[in-house]
């Protein structure tokens, strides 16, 4: 398909990955490392707020029982299904227990996390690829599953779990083996395989959730450089043919797709009301039509159209649920990148002026639009809601994480206006970030310590985690091609 060339971010990232020194063994560190959680616990023990209240809230949540029904072939009947993957229920309890392990030093919490993850990977054989809602729900839940597993790295090292003996979606092989390897297999064959489709299929909050999940799963596979992740494509990408990626390729691709989505270089293929169709159903006749992006005014068109129109210059002041959800998932992916030494997502602002940007919509019609300078900024997107529209912000965790970065790296005026929405979120576990107030909240006058960073997945081989199982077949699932010689990452 003839498409405009996009800046080859992927290959630059891969080159950097290839030169990276191996990271020290131990937890990768996502929203917080064990050392950071230890520092938070120390401040909480001293009665310093908000740390004392945040820790108390997490420990209270960690005492709840994780008791949910798991199905061999999991489906998603609604936004909060299945309950064990819901950020208000099962996921929230699981992450609280993982945090509690390092806040208290009590290994009983780690044992519970291990048992829960083993229950999931041994009982949930497949997540439905036919149920579209699963692409979104596991985009929300997969990062937290990764975070929980990473925080018990030291606990389950050397332990045996029952889980997938293969990374192929269509293979129902269960076997005993190293717990981490079995869980990594489950992440590859289920959440990644299911969610990856939305990564290139959607430019709305669905796409933001997908690339966030894809990046977290790929990053968690750093010690499995030869693992293969099957990335599903819609018909508009690579003629609908799947591609097979290494963890380094999958991590770089997820981040490339996210930046391109922010800058207007991605197309919404999923909705018949896509902004990229320029239809009167989703565009207001008072203004020029716009396509998927974060506009120079901070509007997220594909999510603005849910309640207003794609091309509004300003939100109308009502609560903006879908743009906030989009931003929250974007923030979590930016924070992962930051913890791998890359602030380009948080800092992104596309300053080029493209008066006649050409693209193909979901039906193959070639269209032209004006991509204006100043687009793609996550900070501008937050300001568009809080400052420009004077709208309340309800997703506290994501805003606290964003504020922790922009408070000292802001490129725009007004970050202090976010302050009224930063408190009261001790138990907030939204469909983006869980417990951001715990991991990123600061006391008045407190300067946060330097954030530890580790290298992203590397292209060069590392000693693999020991596992006696044979490598998965190059063929991929039946009817789907294996890894091509050249992977086309264009939309």
Answer for the pair 429, 90: CB distance below 8 angstroms, yes or no: no
Tens digit of pLDDT for each residue in 108-155? 999 999 999 999 999 999 999 999 999 999 999 999 999 999 999 999
Give the integer Cα–Cα distance in Å for 308 and 315. 8
Average pLDDT over residues 312-338: 96
Give the integer Cα–Cα distance in Å for 58 and 325. 22
pTM for this predicted structure:
0.89
Give the integer Cα–Cα distance in Å for 221 and 13. 17
Mean of per-residue pLDDT scores for the chain: 89
State the DSSP string of 406-471.
HHHH-SSS-GGGGGGGSSS-TT-B-SS-BSHHHHH---TTPPPPPPP--PPPPSS--PPPP--SPP
Q: Is the pLDDT of residue 282 over 70?
A: yes
Tens digit of pLDDT for each residue in 187-237? 999 999 999 999 999 999 999 999 999 999 999 999 999 999 999 999 999
Residue with more model confidence, 452 or 57: 57
Answer for the pair 93, 62: CB distance below 8 angstroms, yes or no: yes
Q: Is the pLDDT of residue 326 over 60?
A: yes
Provide the 10 A C-beta neighbour count for residue 23: 18
CA nearest to 197, candidates 231, 154, 237, 171: 231
Angle at 14 between CA 11 and CA 19, to 5 degrees: 130
Q: Is the pLDDT of residue 448 over 60?
A: yes
Angle at 470 between CA 465 and CA 471, to 5 degrees: 75
Q: Is the pLDDT of residue 437 over 90?
A: yes
CA nearest to 130, candidates 84, 158, 169: 169
Tens digit of pLDDT for each residue in 95-118? 999 999 999 999 999 999 999 999
Tens digit of pLDDT for each residue in 339-355? 999 999 999 999 999 99
Compute the Cα dihedral for 304, 308, 289, 386 and give only its sign. negative
Q: Read off the pLDDT band of 470 (50, 70, 90).
A: very low
Contacts of residue 134, Cβ cutoff 8 Å, sequence gap at least 6: 74, 75, 76, 127, 128, 194
- Complete domains list, the chain, with CATH: 26-440 (1.50.10)
DSSP secondary-structure letter at 189? I
| Strands 174-178 and 160-164, sheet pairing | antiparallel
Cα-Cα end-to-end distance for the chain: 9
Average pLDDT over residues 423-437: 91
Q: Read off the pLDDT band of 25 (50, 70, 90).
A: low
Tens digit of pLDDT for each residue in 39-90? 999 999 999 999 999 999 999 999 999 999 999 999 999 999 999 999 999 9
Give the integer Cα–Cα distance in Å for 52 and 50. 6
Q: Is the pLDDT of residue 471 over 50?
A: no
Average pLDDT over residues 167-185: 96
């Amino acid at each position: 398909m003839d498409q405009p060339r996009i800046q080859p971010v992927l290959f630059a990232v891969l080159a950097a990955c290839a030169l990276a020194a191996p990271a020290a063994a131990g937890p990768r560190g996502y929203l917080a490392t064990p050392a950071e959680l230890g520092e938070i616990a120390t401040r909480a023990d001293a009665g310093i707020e908000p740390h004392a209240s945040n820790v108390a809230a997490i420990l209270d949540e960690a005492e709840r029982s994780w008791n949910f029904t798991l199905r061999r072939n999991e489906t998603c009947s609604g936004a909060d299904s299945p309950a064990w993957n819901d950020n208000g229920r099962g996921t929230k309890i699981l992450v609280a227990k993982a945090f509690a392990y390092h806040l208290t030093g009590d290994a009983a919490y780690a044992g519970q996390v291990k048992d829960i993850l083993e229950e999931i990977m041994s009982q949930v054989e497949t997540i439905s690829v036919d149920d579209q809602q699963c692409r979104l729900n596991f985009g929300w839940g997969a990062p937290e599953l990764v975070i929980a597993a990473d925080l018990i790295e030291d606990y389950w090292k050397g332990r045996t779990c029952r889980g997938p003996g293969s990374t192929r979606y269509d293979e129902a092989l269960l076997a005993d083996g190293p717990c981490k390897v079995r869980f990594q297999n489950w992440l590859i064959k289920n959440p990644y395989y299911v969610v990856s489709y939305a990564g290139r299929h959607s430019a709305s909050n669905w796409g933001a959730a997908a690339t966030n999940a894809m990046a977290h799963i790929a990053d968690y596979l750093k010690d499995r450089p030869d693992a293969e992740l099957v990335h599903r494509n819609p018909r508009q990408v690579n003629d609908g043919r799947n591609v097979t990626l290494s963890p380094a390729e999958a991590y770089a691709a997820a981040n490339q797709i996210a930046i391109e989505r922010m800058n207007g270089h991605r197309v919404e293929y999923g909705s018949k009301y896509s902004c990229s169709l320029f239809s009167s159903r989703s565009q207001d006749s008072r203004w020029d039509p716009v396509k998927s992006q974060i506009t120079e005014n901070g509007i997220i068109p594909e999510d603005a159209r849910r309640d207003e129109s794609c091309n509004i210059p300003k939100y109308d002041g009502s609560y903006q649920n879908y743009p906030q959800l989009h931003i929250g998932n974007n923030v979590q992916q930016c924070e992962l990148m930051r913890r791998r030494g890359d602030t380009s997502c948080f800092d992104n602002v596309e300053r080029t002026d493209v008066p006649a940007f050409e693209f193909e919509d979901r039906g193959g019609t070639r269209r032209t639009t004006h991509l204006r300078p100043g687009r793609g900024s996550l900070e501008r997107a937050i300001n568009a809601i809080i400052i420009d529209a004077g709208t309340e912000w309800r997703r506290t965790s994501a805003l606290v994480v964003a504020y922790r970065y922009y408070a000292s790296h802001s490129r725009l005026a007004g970050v202090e206006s976010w302050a009224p929405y930063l408190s009261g979120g001790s138990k907030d576990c939204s469909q983006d970030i869980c417990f951001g107030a715990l991991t990123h909240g600061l006391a008045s006058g407190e300067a946060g310590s330097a954030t530890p960073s580790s290298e992203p997945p590397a292209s060069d081989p590392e000693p693999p985690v020991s596992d006696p199982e044979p490598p998965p077949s190059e063929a991929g699932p039946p009817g789907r091609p294996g890894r091509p010689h050249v992977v086309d990452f264009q939309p």
